[in-house]
């Protein structure tokens, strides 16, 4: 087997190949494991990776029965490879897709890190782009320097874990959610956005919202407070709305286009109210932004997510380039 570093675009068969392995392992290990996890880059939809599945068997009792069963079924036990408490296995046949197989106790921190990192890549598009870009760059530059590859990835993994663990959330409404989402996606420190509906009565649909059921079109924003503060996000919100307007932004008129800030905690409310007090002298009319918290946020239909990325000439009431002036 070549020792050159490998990279493959995302293969839609990877989840299917994992399912085959999971089914077989689950059958032979019945009663000896808690869960079988697909981790690593191949577990993240759309992410390119070295074409090898990474699989963690989580167990709560003893490792010895697992070692014995796997050895009887074609795996070679390699010991605690690399990390104490991470038990490694390999196969030399082609019955299953190429994979790395490990067994880790539920209390093993490495297992928790694998799952947390996988979930961060699945959830935050910006992390997925950063991680894939780095891997491609390293392999193009030098596909033989494994130590550089591992160390560089490790640094980025630590950064992603730190940032994802400190992620804050808030919901902004400011007119048509297509433009609001597109604008905030460009702000450094914003790692994920979703458009949806809030501050109405129960779950709803876009058609009902357009008919005036009472919800506001809104954007859920997840951000790293160490990179962009709530005050700075408020600067951006005020940059794209008329904060004194009621049920209207740009050419959009109706209750669904009201401006609002939702689902903050008490500390954030103090920041928001202090910001309003500071800004109010700049306006002749009172600031009319709705403030409510602890409300259900209903994610919008999939065709609304990242709408202006999918529809380059789509309607937008926001000057997307104006973020440069904030």
Q: Which pairs from 238-241 meet CB under 8 Å and 24+ separation? A: 238/279, 239/322, 239/323, 239/325, 239/326, 240/174, 240/175, 240/179, 240/180, 240/183, 240/318, 240/319, 240/322, 241/174, 241/175
pLDDT of residue 147: 81
Output the CA torsion 237→241→246→248 (10° steps): -130
In this structure, what CATH number is given to the domain that contains residue 171? 3.30.1060.10
Which are the contacts of 151, defined by CB distance < 8 A and separation ≥ 6?
none
Tokens 């919901």 label which residue?
171
Output the CA torsion 278→280→281→283 (10° steps): 140
Specify the number of domains making up the chain. 2
How far is residue 270's CA from residue 277's CA, in Å, rounded to a whole number?
11
For residue 92, give its domain range: 1-165
Of 165, 180, 203, the residue that ends a domain is 165
Q: What is the pLDDT of residues 30-64, one digit of tens each?
A: 999 999 999 999 999 999 998 999 999 999 999 99
Active site includes 176?
A: yes
Mean pLDDT of the chain: 94
pLDDT of residue 1: 41
Same domain for 34 and 137, yes or no, is yes
Same domain for 206 and 241, yes or no, is yes
Least confident among 39-43, 150-154, 294-298: 150-154
In this structure, what CATH number is given to the domain that contains residue 115? 3.30.460.10
What does the chain come to in residues?
A: 326
pLDDT at 2 over 70: no
Tokens of 232: 């700075």
The values of phi and psi at residue 233, to 5°, are -65, -40
Of 165, 197, 213, the residue that ends a domain is 165
Same domain for 174 and 37, yes or no, is no
pLDDT at 94 over 50: yes
Q: What is the pLDDT of residues 222-248, one digit of tens each?
A: 999 889 999 999 999 999 999 999 999
Query: Which residues pair with residue 232 across a beta bridge?
Result: none
Same domain for 115 and 199, yes or no, is no
Q: What is the pLDDT of residues 158-169, one digit of tens each?
A: 989 988 888 999
Same domain for 304 and 203, yes or no, is yes
Same domain for 152 and 220, yes or no, is no
Strands (E) across the chain are located at: 35-39, 53-59, 76-80, 86-90, 99-105, 167-174, 190-198, 216-224, 248-249, 252-253, 259-262, 290-292, 298-299
Same domain for 155 and 180, yes or no, is no
Answer yes or no: pTM beyond 0.85: no
Same domain for 98 and 225, yes or no, is no
Same domain for 88 and 203, yes or no, is no
User: Out of 21, 53, 163, 176, which one is annotated catalytic?
Assistant: 176
Of 133, 165, 197, the residue that ends a domain is 165
Per-residue pLDDT, averaged over 150-173, amounts to: 90
Same domain for 101 and 125, yes or no, is yes
Q: What is the pLDDT of residues 64-84, one digit of tens each?
A: 999 999 999 999 999 998 889
Same domain for 115 and 211, yes or no, is no
pLDDT of residue 149: 80
Same domain for 9 and 158, yes or no, is yes
First to last CA, the chain: 53
């Amino acid at each position: 087997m070549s020792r050159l570093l490998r990279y493959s675009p995302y293969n839609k068969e990877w989840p299917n190949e994992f399912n085959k392995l999971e089914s077989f392992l689950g059958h032979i290990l019945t009663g000896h494991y808690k869960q079988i996890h697909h981790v690593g880059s191949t577990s993240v939809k759309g992410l390119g990776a070295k074409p090898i599945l990474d699989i963690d068997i989580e167990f709560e009792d003893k490792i010895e029965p697992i070692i014995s069963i796997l050895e009887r079924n074609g795996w070679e036990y390699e010991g605690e490879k690399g990390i104490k408490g991470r038990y490694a296995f390999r196969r030399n046949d082609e019955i299953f897709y190429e994979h790395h197989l490990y067994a880790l106790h539920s209390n093993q921190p490495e297992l928790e890190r694998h799952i947390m990192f996988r979930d961060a890549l699945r959830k935050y598009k910006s992390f997925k782009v950063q991680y894939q870009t780095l891997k491609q760059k390293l392999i193009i530059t030098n596909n033989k320097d494994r130590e550089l590859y591992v160390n560089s990835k490790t640094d980025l993994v630590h950064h992603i874990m730190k940032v994802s663990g400190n992620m804050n959330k808030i919901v902004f409404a400011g007119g048509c959610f297509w433009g609001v989402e597109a604008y905030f996606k460009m702000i450094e420190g914003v790692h994920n956005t979703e458009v949806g509906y809030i501050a109405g009565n129960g779950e709803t649909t876009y058609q009902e919202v357009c008919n005036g059921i009472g919800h506001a079109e809104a954007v859920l924003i997840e951000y790293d407070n160490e990179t962009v503060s709530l005050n700075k996000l408020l600067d951006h919100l005020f940059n794209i709305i008329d904060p004194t307007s009621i049920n209207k932004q740009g050419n959009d008129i109706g209750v669904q286009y009201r401006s609002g800030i939702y689902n903050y905690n008490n500390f954030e409310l103090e920041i928001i109210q202090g910001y309003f007090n500071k800004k109010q002298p700049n306006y002749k009319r009172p600031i009319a932004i709705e403030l409510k918290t602890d409300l259900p946020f209903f994610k919008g239909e999939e065709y609304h997510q990242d709408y202006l990325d999918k529809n380059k000439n789509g309607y937008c009431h926001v000057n997307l380039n104006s973020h440069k002036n904030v």
